[in-house]
């Protein structure tokens, strides 16, 4: 009897986990970011045409040239005007948090684009990254060539 109830609980937990995976919504971060500078001046790069590494490098260099530690208040205004969601360091997390963390996420088709800027204590420059991810829909058939041949 104990084994059967454990098996049932395990099955329910597995079903809940699968349901959570299939219903995960991606926060798009608002309207489509511009190619190049945003309205407040953040340089998003030519993310729609250039390679991920190139966009990441240009974004890092642009942020490093523009922002220094101690400019968090000014930077937050600019990033939020360009569609970023920002959090300051006053939050109870189990790990070290930056003084300011701003992220802009945009989803288009199966691609997710993410720009992140972090201002860490005792670092002279802000840390920045751009990442492009390709999300695969488990319910979609990606083997179009094979499907056409049958």
Q: Diameter of the chain by CA atoms? A: 66
- Divide the 150 residues of the chain into consecutive groups of 10 and give the mean pLDDT of each group: 45 39 46 91 93 95 95 96 92 86 90 94 94 77 57
Helix (H, G, I), strand (E, B) or coil at 11: helix
Alpha-carbon span 126 to 63, nearest angstrom: 7
Q: Sheet of 85-88: strands edge to edge?
A: 85-88, 100-108, 111-119, 127-134
Is the whole-model pTM more than 0.75? no
Rounded distance between C-alpha atoms, residue 68 and residue 118, angstroms: 11
């Amino acid at each position: 009897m104990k084994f059967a109830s454990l098996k049932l609980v395990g099955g329910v937990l597995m079903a809940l986990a699968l349901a959570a995976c299939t219903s995960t919504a991606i926060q798009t971060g608002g309207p489509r970011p511009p190619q190049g500078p945003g309205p407040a001046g953040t340089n998003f790069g030519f993310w729609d045409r250039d390679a991920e590494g190139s966009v990441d490098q240009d974004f890092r260099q642009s942020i490093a040239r523009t922002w220094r530690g101690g400019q968090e208040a000014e930077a937050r205004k600019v990033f939020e005007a360009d569609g970023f969601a920002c959090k300051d360091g006053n939050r109870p997390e189990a790990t070290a948090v930056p003084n300011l963390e701003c992220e802009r996420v945009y989803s288009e088709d199966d691609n997710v684009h993410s720009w992140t800027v972090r201002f860490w204590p005792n670092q002279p420059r802000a840390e920045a990254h751009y990442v492009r991810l390709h999300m695969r829909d488990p319910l979609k058939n990606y083997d179009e060539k094979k499907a056409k041949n049958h």
